[in-house]
Structure 1
Amino acid sequence: MQAGPNPQHLLTTLLGEYLDSADADLPSAAVVAMLGEFGISESSARAALSRLTKRGLIAVRGAGRPPVYHLTAQAIARHRSRMDQFLSFGARPPRWTGDWVAVCFSLPQSGQAPRHAVRKALGSLGFARLYDSVWIRPGTDAGPVSRELRDILDGVEGGRWSVMHTRFAEEAGPRGPAAAYDLAGLAAAYEEFIARYSGLRVAVRNGEIDATRALVARTSVMDSWRKFPDVDPDLPEHLLPARWPRQAARDLMLEIHSALGALAEARLIEVAAPYWPDAARWITHFRASEDSVSVPADRDR
């Protein structure tokens, strides 16, 4: 069995971080070599390529053998959006209006399959369970959840559901919305991130990281950080516990990510070039700009 990082997630991170053009021809052997830097076997690398092709993130160009891949235009747009999300997350407090979207639903006891489908859909849309069948998320946009519930439940006999805009009378109290979230678990995840990469930051500051280590280290940091924008509800400060560790984790991530960008890019080119002569033309890296939006490093195409 493949040990270590998930090959598909890792390849998605690599492509999102270091490629920014649908015109680049990406040989499969180069992908195998890139993932080999992380201890991913050839069979697992090729399986990851196959899965990303099925998901439409990459496509095969032509009918040659061995196959040559390229990022799709949709993947480029998605990668740019996600990099913006990853690198800007936590940069500034959310604009808070006190508004929440609440979902209530009631299903017959026989409705286990639709119940599971509803809970999965709500979780994917950023909702958290406040009570058994009451789910909430910050904000005012109720359109996506209304459409999901309509698709899942409109044909379920005895099923009822409502989507509401609401405010809490005691927003910061023990019966307020923060009770829906495992903030202690989230804080522990941030603290674990800090503990895991603090030594790396010291090594970066001391100039001890060469290009070989930079690629693995920088990609690992981003692969670890990228989960937080999806699981952190980005609640306003008055709903968070004291000494919330997100800012410390973000500062650590950005320092490592910025410092190792050029080294990691150089190593990825070195690894890919024997199988991909044009690697230096296409491989780049994203960085956080002053306004917290990610941009590719300047390169001549």
Structure 2
Amino acid sequence: MPPVQRNGGLQPQNLALTIAGTHIREPGERVWSGGFVKLLQEFGFSTEASRAALARLVQRDLLAREMDGRRALYTLTDHAVELLTRGDERIFKFGRPEPSREVWTVLWHAIPEGRRAERTRFATGLRFLGFGSVQDATWFAAHDREAAVVRLATSLEIAEYVSVFIGRMSDRLPPGILVGQAWDLAAVGEGYRRFLDDYGHLRRAGDRRVLSRRDAFVTRTLMLHQFRGFPFIDPEIPASVGGHPQLRKRVVSLFDVVYAGLAAAAIKHFEDVAQPEFTRRPSAA
């Protein structure tokens, strides 16, 4: 079966960062720009859009560009490695711990209007941590997220405008109405079922082996992109208040099996296309 091509709405910058973060995480590891463009073309992006995406990532201090003669090479910046490491911690722990209603995090902020960029980045970061919003400045999560919120607010230099409360939700007044306003749990279930439909056949080793290296690379990358969206929409709450713990468990299990099972073929394709010999730094004498 050919790889899933469910990539509607995918942006070349995000895709390029995902590819780089997956394949060139070792310090000083480099990728050839021409090969990187070819990889992005495998997802349907034009040469112009691919080159523009790489240039934009350089402007954002996520990729660093260096020249080897007339050939451009890219490495991840320290800033990118820090962001990716933080993201990996959330993505690859998502769905593993058992959800609990015992501890909830409530957050309120008063970030000034003049700092709209920070407000937007803060909101995105909160959603990635599993927060939902009932008002613009009031957010809550079904876990103890104090440390993560402090880290996020500090990194954006807005800690002075943020307050966090940690506590227990009343058992006498279930949080169903609050949860329903903060998250679209029906959409979460639909997303999980779609993921299982898209990649369920690849749980079988035989179905993974028939994929070419290119198809393994494309499928693995798209699967990671699809999976990394779940922390933004699923608060990981119990079934008793509308969550989807069983579907989530099936999705996480499938992701782990397929992501590991396609790794060897996907990595070889990446190296063949984007890491020719000249990308390797000479060994110190």
Aligned pair partner of 1:135 in 129, 136, 139:
139
Rate the CA distance shift 1:8–1:94 in 2: closer, same or farther, 3 A. Answer: same
Match of 1:181 in 2: 183
Q: Secondary structure at the match of 2:226?
A: helix
Deviations 1:224-276 (A, max 9, x none): 11111233223355434466411111111111111110011111222225xx3
Match of 1:224 in 2: 226
Q: Secondary structure at the match of 1:70?
A: strand
Rate the CA distance shift 1:125–1:167 in 2: closer, same or farther, 3 A. Answer: same
User: What is the letter of the counterpart of residue 21 of structure 2?
Assistant: G
Rate the CA distance shift 1:271–1:93 in 2: closer, same or farther, 3 A. Answer: same
Rate the CA distance shift 1:265–1:163 in 2: closer, same or farther, 3 A. Answer: closer
Contact kept, 8 Å, 1:22 with 1:72, in 2: the verdict is no
Deviation of 1:36 (Å): 2.4
Q: Equivalents in 1 of 2:192, 2:43: separation in Å?
A: 23
Pick the structure with greater CA Rg: 1
Contact kept, 8 Å, 1:215 with 1:268, in 2: the verdict is yes
1:118-133 pair list within 5 angstroms: 121-122=122-123, 124-126=125-127, 127-130=131-134
Asked if 1:6 is matched to 2:11, the reply is yes
1:203-222 pair list within 5 angstroms: 204-205=206-207, 207-222=209-224
Q: Secondary structure at the match of 1:125?
A: helix
Aligned pairs, number: 265
Deviation of 1:43 (Å): 0.8
Asked if 1:55 is matched to 2:42, the reply is no
Rate the CA distance shift 1:123–1:22 in 2: closer, same or farther, 3 A. Answer: closer
Aligned pair partner of 1:191 in 175, 190, 193:
193
Q: Secondary structure at the match of 1:14?
A: helix
Contact kept, 8 Å, 1:168 with 1:177, in 2: the verdict is no
The CA RMSD over aligned residues, in Å, is 3.7
Contact kept, 8 Å, 2:202 with 2:208, in 1: the verdict is no
Match of 2:44 in 1: 39
TM-score, normalised on structure 1?
A: 0.71
| Unaligned ranges ≥5, structure 2 | 1-6
Q: Equivalents in 2 of 1:41, 1:200: separation in Å?
A: 29
Contact kept, 8 Å, 2:236 with 2:245, in 1: the verdict is no
| Unaligned ranges ≥5, structure 1 | 106-110, 152-160, 283-301
Rate the CA distance shift 1:68–1:174 in 2: closer, same or farther, 3 A. Answer: closer
1:25-104 pair list within 5 angstroms: 25-61=30-66, 65-94=70-99, 97-103=102-108
Q: Equivalents in 2 of 1:94, 1:222: separation in Å?
A: 22
Contact kept, 8 Å, 1:60 with 1:70, in 2: the verdict is yes
Contact kept, 8 Å, 1:58 with 1:71, in 2: the verdict is yes
